[in-house]
Amino acid sequence: MKSSAFIINCSRGPIIDTEALVHALDEGKKAGCALDTTDPEPLPTDHALQSRENVIINPHAAWYSEQAMAGLQRGAPSEVRRVLTGQWPVNLVNQAVKENNRAGIK
């Protein structure tokens, strides 16, 4: 990746090695970063990323838009409806529950 690249992280969890990112910024290997999530979260106020001109830290809210909220409002009830009609949710996170299925879902 070029040294002019910016790191953008709007995922969940500790995807970015925070100390490696600080090192890359210190060494000029990356131009900057924008983070919606950090590790740890929140970062301590005296953390090296907090005072940089080339760093944007968002309070874990980059997902929000009117379209995302509307999708959430449609999606959650649809998932509940699927379960109530004997179907597995489309966005089932814990696939292991299928092995111990006591709800009669096929």
CA neighbor of 12 nearest in space, from 99, 106, 93: 93
Active-site pick, 47, 52, 60, 82: 60
Q: Is residue 48 part of a domain?
A: yes
Query: What is the domain extent for residue 42?
Result: 6-57
Question: Given a cut of 80, is residue 83 above it in pLDDT?
Answer: yes
Question: Given a cut of 80, is residue 13 above it in pLDDT?
Answer: no
Number of domains in the chain: 2
The answer to whether residue 102 is catalytic is: no
Q: Once rounded to an integer, what is the mean pLDDT over residues 16-30? A: 96
How far is residue 1's CA from residue 31's CA, in Å, rounded to a whole number? 11
Give all strands of the β-sheet with 32-35 in edge-to-edge order. Answer: 6-9, 32-35, 55-57
Sign of CA dihedral 4, 62, 71, 84: positive
pLDDT in tens, 33-46: 999 989 898 899 99
Q: Is residue 70 part of a domain?
A: yes
Q: Is residue 97 part of a domain?
A: no
Question: Given a cut of 80, is residue 1 above it in pLDDT?
Answer: yes
How far is residue 33's CA from residue 55's CA, in Å, rounded to a whole number? 5
> Within this chain, do residues 44 and 20 fall inside the same structural domain, yes or no?
yes
pLDDT-derived band at 64 (thresholds 50, 70, 90) equals: confident
Active-site pick, 12, 23, 74, 81: 12
Q: Once rounded to an integer, what is the mean pLDDT over residues 62-88? A: 90
The answer to whether residue 47 is catalytic is: no
